[in-house]
């Protein structure tokens, strides 16, 4: 391939990472500090409500207008390349003025390798290249010896089932994301003491390919120059990155369930956050995210939860006809929808 052809391709940064690790926060910071670089974002959600895309569309950034944020909901991007990913790229690459860089936020359950391999498709390879794969890692969880906040419950479940001789699905996803990384962003650094940081870095060093850099961040604050312009061309090396799923013809997400919970207007965000934390602890919900209407408040309440840790804040006013509460709940296969809905509704639940 000639240098001129390579330069003509639009660079794409694939941002992968487990549920709630901080991908959307990181990308929003990049958008807000792009310094004139015209960006576009493809957001892939697990579930049928595009919460992360809506967060990014609300940035109001001139160099990344709303039409440059494309959502692929209710399907893993690595499984729907032909149906979803190629048309999304077509739409973005047709924008005028031309975009300088594309950010692709995968769902927390997506495997990055099949997506990188898709950059060899004839409809793609001459127009875009993988600038780099960035794995976002929950530093607080890793410092505690886990890849996610529900790890203890998963370990107990696995230990109780003698028929299981494979890795936990969450750990497999995590390992595959790390195996494909060109850069690791360790989030929530402000919540980790020195001993915890040493634990987290040791866990990463044991798994990371040689030469992959790790950077620590708080609230997603990372200079875009660190994230963009890696210039790796990851698609040319992806065959050398070994993952758990290399011998599978294809993969699915049968290990996980997700559903949407409609939530009536609430009175007290703090009290409702306690319900979300309870759902994580009692119903083993991995991730909750969405928007709520609060009585007497014109602003939309954004709720993001990873296990029992719940964050919430008002992000913007409701648009016309928008007001209404909807949360996406994600958990392992068999997640008890009735129990989750009862807990979120504040109803007593039988043990």
Host H or E run for residue 288:
strand 285-293
Strands of the sheet with 39-44, listed across from one edge: 69-72, 39-44, 101-105, 10-17, 128-138, 183-187, 213-216
What pLDDT does residue 247 have? 55
Q: Give the total residue count for the chain.
A: 351
Closest C-alpha among 289, 310, 20 to residue 138: 20
Q: What is the pTM of this model?
A: 0.65
Question: Is residue 187 pLDDT above 80, yes or no?
Answer: yes
- The tokens describing 290, both together, are 């969405």
Percentage of residues of the chain with pLDDT beyond 90: 24
Q: What is the mean pLDDT of residues 262-275?
A: 93
What value does the mean pLDDT of the chain take?
78
Closest C-alpha among 56, 34, 43 to residue 101: 34
Q: What is the pLDDT of residues 12-53, one digit of tens each?
A: 999 998 877 888 889 888 888 888 888 888 887 644 444 444
Closest C-alpha among 37, 184, 65 to residue 56: 65
Residue 81 contacts by C-beta under 8 Å, 6 or more apart in sequence? 114, 115, 118, 121
What pLDDT does residue 128 have? 93
Question: Is residue 162 pLDDT above 70, yes or no?
Answer: no
Tokens 């798994």 -> residue: 207
């Amino acid at each position: 391939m000639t240098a001129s052809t390579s330069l003509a391709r639009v660079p794409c940064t694939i941002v992968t990472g487990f549920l709630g690790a901080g991908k959307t926060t990181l990308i929003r910071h990049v958008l807000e500090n792009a310094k004139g670089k015209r960006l576009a974002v493809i957001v892939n959600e697990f579930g049928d409500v595009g919460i992360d895309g809506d967060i990014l569309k609300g940035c109001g950034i001139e160099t990344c207008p709303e039409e440059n944020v494309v959502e692929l909901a209710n399907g893993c991007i690595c499984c729907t390349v032909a149906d979803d990913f190629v048309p999304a790229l077509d739409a973005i690459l047709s924008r005028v003025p031309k975009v300088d860089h594309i950010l692709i936020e995968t769902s927390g359950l997506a495997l990055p390798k099949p997506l990188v391999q898709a950059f060899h498709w004839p409809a793609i390879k001459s127009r875009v290249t993988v600038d780099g794969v960035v794995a976002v890692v929950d530093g607080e969880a890793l410092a505690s010896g886990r890849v996610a906040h529900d790890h203890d419950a998963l370990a107990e479940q696995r230990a109780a089932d003698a028929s299981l001789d494979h890795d936990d699905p969450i750990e497999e996803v995590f390992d595959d994301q790390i195996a494909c990384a060109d850069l690791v962003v360790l989030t929530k650094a402000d919540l980790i003491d020195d001993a915890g940081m040493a634990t987290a870095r040791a866990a990463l060093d044991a798994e990371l390919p040689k030469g992959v850099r790790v950077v620590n961040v708080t609230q997603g604050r990372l200079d875009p120059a660190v994230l963009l312009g890696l210039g790796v061309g990851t698609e040319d090396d992806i065959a050398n990155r070994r993952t758990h799923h290399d011998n599978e013809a294809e993969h699915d997400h049968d290990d996980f369930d997700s559903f949407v919970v409609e939530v009536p207007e609430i009175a007290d965000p703090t009290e409702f956050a306690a319900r979300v934390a309870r759902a994580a602890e009692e119903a083993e919900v991995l991730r909750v995210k969405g928007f709520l209407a609060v009585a007497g408040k014109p602003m939309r309440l954004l709720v993001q939860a990873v296990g029992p840790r719940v964050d919430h804040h008002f992000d913007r006013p409701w648009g016309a006809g928008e007001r209404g509460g909807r949360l996406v709940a994600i958990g392992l296969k068999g997640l008890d929808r009735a129990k989750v809905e009862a807990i979120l509704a504040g109803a007593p639940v039988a043990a």
